[in-house]
Structure 1
Amino acid sequence: MTSRATTTSTTTRTTPTTRPSTTTPATERTTADGARRRFRLSARLRILLWLLVVMAVALATVVLTTRSILLRDAEQRVGQLLSQETSEFESFVDHARDPETGRPFTEPRRLLGVYLERQYPEPDEELLGYIREDPAPRVIRQDRDIASRLPLHRDGASLERMSEHPAGTGTLRRDDGVVHWAKVRIRYGEGQPEAMFLVAVHDDPSGSSAENAVRTLLVISGVALLMSCVIGWGVAGRILRPVRLVRATAAQLTEQDLTRRIPIDGHDDISALAETFNAMLDRLERAFGTQRDFVDDAGHELRTPITIVRGHLELMSAGEGPAAAAERRETLRLVTDELDRMSRIVEDLLLLAKVERPDFVRPAPIQVAELTADVYVKARALGDRRWELPEVAECEAALDAQRITQAMVQLAQNAVQHTGPGQRIRIGSRLAAGHLELYVADGGPGVRPEEAEMIFERFRRGTTRRGGERSGAGLGLSIVRAITRGHHGRVELRPTPGGGATFVLVVPAQEVQETP
């Protein structure tokens, strides 16, 4: 007697898997008037669509792989079941004896009947004895229900096909389902009818375990995709919120209003983008503010000489005689002076406009001692002062000789404006703490502490000029600072011992190489 645990069978049905299709990021729509309007999907929707595509592919792969594994296991289980049943029957034929006589079986009908009485097949398994007798074949079966709408003992045509099949095992496809079968032929000599033992495994009509598992996985996959839509939509919206704020803020920015900023929440890449955008807005606001101040100051400075020129031209006498000629000569002199001053202002403005260009400063190795001496010689022609060259730096530095000379001469000109005839002005250079310092020191009234930073701004001038003089446009020290910054250095204002001001150009150490 054989005892087995019940095992669920499988089918070979194929369940189609639907995958969401991708959408073109940009499409064109035709309006009622025939014009084409370009339409773009939002980044949030595109992220969601790609997420769904990836998840659908992943879930479909899982479903198909699981189905393949289950079908393979089911085929192995059916094959093992058929092989086990036929092996047990063959062993019974070789060794069994009739319980009534105690002798070996002599005819197939008795053999099949005794064997089937002792078997307990699984619900989807059918064991039959088939004997070809006249006038009709005899079917010996167990008195039990089979998990199939059409058992083989009621399907004579299928039994006939299996009995005539030359192979010992096979698969029979019927309208009611698939039947996997195996047979063992029985022969008892001349005069005995042909008989055989049949084992059949029916597909479960309500669906095999593989199909049920696939359907369950499909339902779970659908729920997972739906949940992914909801969660992905929310997460994508949260992640892209700063990007939307960037777009909204950029749309609301104008040249007159650059004060809007993006709130920063978190420390991820999107927050870093918001920080970078805010920093860009800070730079833009400063640039626009500087531009507005520059235009206002330039307009103010240029308006004064233009007004003076216009006023003198209007007062120019049209009379004849020596007095009128002298008046015209004086007017022309004043007008020429103002026009020269306007020309200098325009040249200085053009120079400052070149500060941001990469070729504003063109450094080259030069001997600092020779450069300092040249500046000293040129500065002596600026005024009747007691010029001194107390020290020079014996080193080589990467400097733009023309720009440094321009800055030093400008500082010397300022020193002349703040001193009187015979007062001392010192020009020199030195190495200090690995830096190169080029300086101009005067003995004038000096610079007030509250004006120390202001005097380097454009169109700003100090109030301590000799005799209250206010010549110039206030661009000289701005140019000096721009030239120094172009050399990656700085300009410093220091007090002069005994009174006065010392302006120092400081060049970084990496630009300097001391000469032995």
Structure 2
Amino acid sequence: MARAKGWFWEARTRILLGYVGLLVGLLLIGVPLMRYQVIAGVDVRVREDIEEEVEAFRKIRAGEIDDIDRANIDFLQEDDSRAKFTPQPQTEEELQTLLEVFLRRRIPEDDTFLIAVVGSGFYKSSPRALPEALRPKQPLFEKLKDINQETFATLPSNQPEIGSFIYKVEPIRQGNQVIGRLLIVHATQGERHEAFDALQEVIQVLSGLVLLALLLGWWLSGRVLAPLRSLTLTAQQVSDSDLSRRIPVQGQGEIAALTTTFNNMLTRLDAAFQTQRNLLNDAGHELRTPITIIRGHLELMADDDPVEVSETRDLLIDELDRMSRLVDELILLARREQPNFLHPDHIDLPALIDEVFVKVVPLAERNWQLEGKPPAQLWGDRQRLTEAILNLVENAVRHTKSSDTIAIGCDRVGPQVQIWVRDTGSGIAPADQERIFERFFRSTQQPRAEGAGLGLAIVQAIVQAHGGTVAVSSELSRGSTFTLRLPINPLTETKSTATP
């Protein structure tokens, strides 16, 4: 039951049902319209046939006699009792001869009846067998034979097999007097039945084709929507401990784009979860050390020794300060994902470098230098960029001696500006350069260096928030150069977000 319910609520089934409902609605509207069009088409054709019969009769009355009509006239004139043929009869006898010539020539269509009326009485018909309603002394015949004006109209019949009659009355005048009439009557039901039968066959064939198309469409839509089912299955199987599953991308179009987007989302989630796990592991490790130190000293501290109490107090405060700095740095890295991480404004880059240089000179006794300050404007967060440069300078101070050089400079290269911090210190090993910007990473050359190993990670976060990149170039015993490359006019989204 649950499987059937799930099948019913599948997207392809709902699409199929939607199309079925649409087609049913169109059929409910279209079939009556087609029926009306068939009836109208039949009536138009019948009226055209009736007009042809009337036109043929008028040609004879106008004296347009062809060889066949001439042969019929000669044959009739062999009967001495018959009146002479004349296109404009003056008497009922001459009218009978005229009508005889016309009826001999005409072979009416099925369900079409040519009825000759002389005076006020029935003379002859073609074909001879008439429907009951058109026979002499029937109400319909009595009505038609007394019409004195040219009339083209439709009358209903009380016989279902007849339907309605489309008729035309052609009065035959001698002066102002009507001496006869030609009645051309067509029973519509037979021809309509034929048209309806053909229409029914067309509808049956179309219905079969539509049903086949719907079944094929249901199958094809299942193939097209298969990635969605894979997406659902993958989403159900994904957990925070396993984000490695991906959906194969097939073809192009919206489904392929959705699959690619979903895979990219899983990649970002996997990276975010991995970063979170690394952060928690590293933070736990970094916080465990000062906590252990604090606990050990508190356990060993002699309460009756003021000197030891004072020394322990100073050490504990120092460890707590280190923990506070670590927490502040972690909070800063966490905030890089928030929209308000940056508060950008126009920055005069040479002025910024001058301000930073004034701040860093008192940090340590080094050979401080300023390099290349061409005029350049930058759109960015002044405070965050200052923080990034100061972190690089502090890192350079830790890896240099008093005799070494630390240089700060900037330059403009095309649509970017470059800010660098160069030193002639101990340098960085090639293996360490690949991981230098990871959180809590410490160089193998100085495993006991001060700090939590978050400074360069913070630099990278700030630069990426500005839509830029940071790179390092270093050789052991010759020094290092850290270069920040920032776009002068970053895209709107990089102005207010720190997403890499």
Query: What TM-score does the superposition give when structure 1 sets the normalisation length?
Result: 0.77
SS of the counterpart of 1:440? strand
Report how far residue 509 of structure 1 moved: 5.9
* Distance (whole Å) between structure 2 residues aligned to residue 358 and residue 143 of structure 1: 94
Alpha-carbon spacing, 1:165–1:211, altered in 2? closer, same or farther (3 Å):
farther
Once the two structures are TM-superposed, the CA of residue 53 in structure 1 deviates from its matched residue by 4.9
Which structure 2 residues correspond to residues 337-352 of structure 1 after superposition, within 5 A? 337-352=318-333
Q: What SS does the aligned partner of 1:455 have?
A: coil
Which amino acid in structure 2 is aligned with residue 426 of structure 1? I
Following TM superposition, by how much is the alpha carbon of 1:69 offset from its aligned partner in structure 2, in angstroms? Answer: 5.2
Does residue 479 (structure 1) correspond to residue 458 (structure 2)? The answer is yes
The aligned amino acid for 2:435 is: M
Determine which structure has greater relative contact order: mean sequence separation of CA pairs < 8 Å that are 6+ residues apart, divided by chain length. Answer: 1
Matched, 1:416 2:403: no
Identity of aligned residues (%): 35
Match of 1:308 in 2: 293
Q: Helix, strand or coil: the match of 1:395?
A: coil
Check the 8 A contact 2:441/2:454 in 1, yes or no.
Answer: yes
Contact kept? 1:348, 1:475, Cα under 8 Å: yes
Question: Residues of 2 paired with 1:143 and 1:485: CA distance?
Answer: 98
From 122, 125, 143, give the equivalent of 1:161: 143
For 1:201, which of 160, 176, 186 is the aligned residue?
Answer: 186
Matched, 1:499 2:451: no
For residues 239 and 409 of structure 1, the distance between their equivalents in structure 2, rounded to whole angstroms, comes to: 55
The one-letter amino acid paired with 1:215 is: Q
In 2: Cα distance, 1:131 partner to 1:103 partner: 14
**Is the 2:114–2:127 contact (alpha carbons within 8 Å) kept by the matching residues of 1?**
no
Is the Cα–Cα contact under 8 Å of residues 427 and 476 in structure 2 kept in the other structure? no
Give the match for residue 216 of structure 1.
201
Which 10-residue stretch deviates more, 70-79 or 56-65? 56-65
Amino acid at match of 1:162: L
**1:181 aligned to which of 135, 151, 167:** 167
Q: 1:88 to 1:345 in 2, by over 3 A?
A: closer
Match of 2:448 among 463, 466, 469: 469
Deviations 1:246-274 (A, max 9, x none): 23322332222222211211122211111
The 1:218/1:478 distance shift into structure 2, 3 A limit, reads: same
* 2:498 aligned partner: none
Q: Which residue is equivalent to 2:67?
A: none
- SS in structure 2 of the partner of residue 205 of structure 1: helix
CA contact under 8 A between 1:128 and 1:153: conserved in structure 2?
A: no
Paired position in structure 2 for 1:353: 334
How much has 1:338 moved relative to structure 2? 0.8
What is the CA–CA distance in structure 1 between the aligned matches of 2:37 and 2:294, rounded to whole Å?
99
Partner amino acid, structure 1, of 2:462:
I
> Which deviates the most, 95-104 or 393-402?
95-104
What is the deviation of 1:493? 2.0
Q: Which amino acid in the other structure matches residue 472 of structure 2?
A: L
Distance apart, 1:286 and its partner CA: 0.6
Q: Deviations over 1:155-182 (max 9, x none)?
A: 7333222223454433332222222233
Q: 1:400 to 1:110 in 2, by over 3 A?
A: closer
- Structure 2 distance, partners of 1:455, 1:193, is 118
* 1:267 corresponds to: 252
Which of residues 124, 133, 152 in structure 1 aligns to 2:134?
A: 152
> Which residue in 2 is equivalent to 1:402?
383
> For the Cα contact (< 8 Å) 1:441–1:496, is it kept in 2?
no
Of residues 165-174 and 406-415 in structure 1, the stretch that sits farther from structure 2 once superposed is 165-174
Q: Distance in 2 between matches of 1:349 and 1:493?
A: 23
State the 1:456 CA deviation.
1.1
Partner letter of residue 306 of structure 1?
I
| Alpha-carbon distance change, 182 to 472 in structure 1, aligned in 2, over 3 angstroms | closer
Structure-to-structure mapping, 1:208-287, within 5 angstroms: 208-287=193-272
Q: For residues 484 and 123 of structure 1, do their structure 2 counterparts lie closer, same or farther at Cα, with a shift above 3 Å needed?
A: closer
2:109 maps to 1:122: yes
- TM-score, normalised with respect to structure 2: 0.79
Q: 1:129 to 1:300 in 2, by over 3 A?
A: same
Comparing both structures, which one devotes a greater share of its residues to helix?
2
Q: Do 1:126 and 1:200's aligned partners in 2 also have CA atoms closer than 8 Å?
A: yes
- Kept in 2: contact 1:425–1:440 (CA 8 A): no
For residue 104 of structure 1, give the secondary structure of its aligned residue in structure 2.
coil
The alignment partner of 2:436 has SS state of helix
1: distance between equivalents of 2:247 and 2:316? 53
Partner of 2:50: 82
1:291 CA displacement: 1.0
Q: Which amino acid in the other structure matches residue 277 of structure 2?
A: R
| Counterparts of 2:350 and 2:60, CA distance in 1 | 119
The structure-2 alpha-carbon separation of the partners of 1:449 and 1:186, relative to structure 1 and needing over 3 Å to count, comes to: closer
1:25 equivalent in structure 2: none
Contact map agreement 1:415 1:425 (CA 8 A) in 2: no
Instruction: Work out whether residues 409 and 421 of structure 2, in 8 Å CA contact, stay in contact via their aligned partners in 1.
Output: no
User: What is the Cα deviation at residue 328 of structure 1?
Assistant: 1.5
Distance 1:443 1:231 in 2: 73
| Count of residues paired in the alignment | 459
Instruction: Pick closer, same or farther for the CA change 1:172–1:331 going to 2, 3 Å.
Output: same
Contact kept in structure 2, 1:423 and 1:443, CA below 8 Å: no
Counterparts in 2 of 1:479 and 1:83: CA distance versus 1, 3 Å: closer
Which residue identity is paired with 1:218?
Answer: I
Give, in angstroms, the shift of residue 40 of structure 1.
Answer: 9.2
Q: CA separation in 2, counterparts of 1:220 and 1:455?
A: 74
Q: Provide the secondary structure at the position in 2 that maps to 1:280.
A: helix
Give the 5 Å matches for 1:416-455.
Answer: 416-420=397-401, 422-431=402-411, 433-434=413-414, 436-455=417-436
For residues 438 and 181 of structure 1, the distance between their equivalents in structure 2, rounded to whole angstroms, comes to: 100
Whole-angstrom distance in 1 between the partners of 2:479 and 2:154: 113
**In the alignment, is the contact (CA less than 8 A) between 2:391 and 2:455 conserved in 1?**
yes
**CA–CA distance in structure 2, aligned partners of residues 275 and 209 of structure 1:** 58
**Which deviates more, 228-237 or 488-497?**
488-497
- d(CA) in 1 for partners of 2:435, 2:211: 65
Cα distance change of structure 1 residues 307 and 207 upon mapping to structure 2, 3 Å threshold: same
* Uncovered stretches (5+) of structure 1, i.e. residues with no partner: 1-36, 512-516
SS at match of 2:306: helix
2-structure distance, mates of 1:224, 1:127: 44
**Using the alignment, how far apart are the partners of 2:124 and 2:255 within structure 1?**
78
